[in-house]
Structure 1
């Protein structure tokens, strides 16, 4: 009886494995056969939301299914991240992530999640540079003049940011360390109120992404001192880069990429990656990214995973040395 029972058990295991493989193959072949949700950890209208909707429209056209953006702001994007981590890993819940995905692992204690273990990197999408902008009435118009003013008044020149631990905040902390200056950080609840107070003269400087400053730079309400990207921005062609301002090799950008729950089947991840790469080559996506001051960044899933890892390590060092706390 034992050999028969053993044979039966073996057949059950083989059949179960075959069935699982068949289901996975059908899932991959038919994917997507229903709408896909793209979670965004910010309110509608911001740069991450715009990028998610732009990519979603292109993917919908390519794959014949809707890509629906779901905005879940709060807790520095941690609410959105956790909702994706706990979602069914079937490829129908994705997230358009940004730098906060890496930064929050260093910023919040205890660590709210482990993106490297609980999520899978699907594809990097693009980046938009951080800019340093100033009230037009301040006496400095270049980064060199700002540094000289800051050295003359250590800790007295203030800059606004969208919040403690935000990408622009971290970017200016990196810049200040490189320049050997001490600036006073004033955190706000988002880029809009930070910009409003810089325009109103409550403080001289603001650090935000390039898109948010654009209308105010065009109207003359703010002047952009530098873009923190390796090359000049398409929407600020006359503004020098931070490298041109004396800091070669320095850059700070808001990057965007798609992630999925960790157990998402590899063939689904590979298909998504291939379709995103295809979308990034379209005229519509490139133009939309240029319109928000950014650029598309094609590349492998491994490249994006490595970026998340290196960014987490970079932020860990800065958070520790500068004693940065979340809002």
Structure 2
């Protein structure tokens, strides 16, 4: 017997990707419900190659009888409806930032800390981490198990899709406009994004960091280890899909490049493409549409004891959001529900 699943925010970039991935992976659902705001009610969204779902108004939807809600409608909407869905008996896997740092809500990357899913019984909510955190931790987990991570310095190169469809449209329109000698008019970004790099993602905090950088620091501590020190600089670049990250790691023990490569190659969801030659690395364009996190340019960092540096890239809409959400649901079913249903 399958499950009844609701996808909240089904008309957004991540919501559409969730539906696509569920169909690709043949998620064990007997019924899938697409939810969005009232202005989208009645529209249709694709589910798989030959199916469509009619959007229902989330404000009028009764969550009773729903097993799982895969939620990506924005933080304010999620703050209202995720607790309602959980109270009605569903387990909500929330892709917004609203619940991530709440102590009684597990924050999960299935390859890294699947055991944390057991804590879903406290609130009925499981949080999906920030996109840039997810891909970094998939790359760091095998290294942490190998030699113990003390400190991470990361600079991100984040695509415009991380800010939504309108931000992607702004990149397209500005790029076209520049070739036509039209002035760039920033709307979703603080400065011109075409042919530029903006070291500003989310709002600024009192210490000079941005909230995006704060997320990477604190989510790493919650998921991997509270003892890891993280310094992050997050930058938006003129790319449509996939985030890149330059990562320097300091370890408790010595670790060789070969040992690091072997540990990463053996880790699920992680692919090493590391050839010291032209084209011997993965770029954001090549990672788009892929499920794995890709690592390249693995080398010693000679500026610290026990240091390594590497390049990491992943599709932020898939592994950085939708895929990780679906994988949490799959792990919830496989590790916690399948046996219970079999016994019942």
TM exceeding 0.5: no
TM-score, normalised with respect to structure 2: 0.31
TM-score, normalised with respect to structure 1: 0.33
Bigger fraction of residues in helix? 1
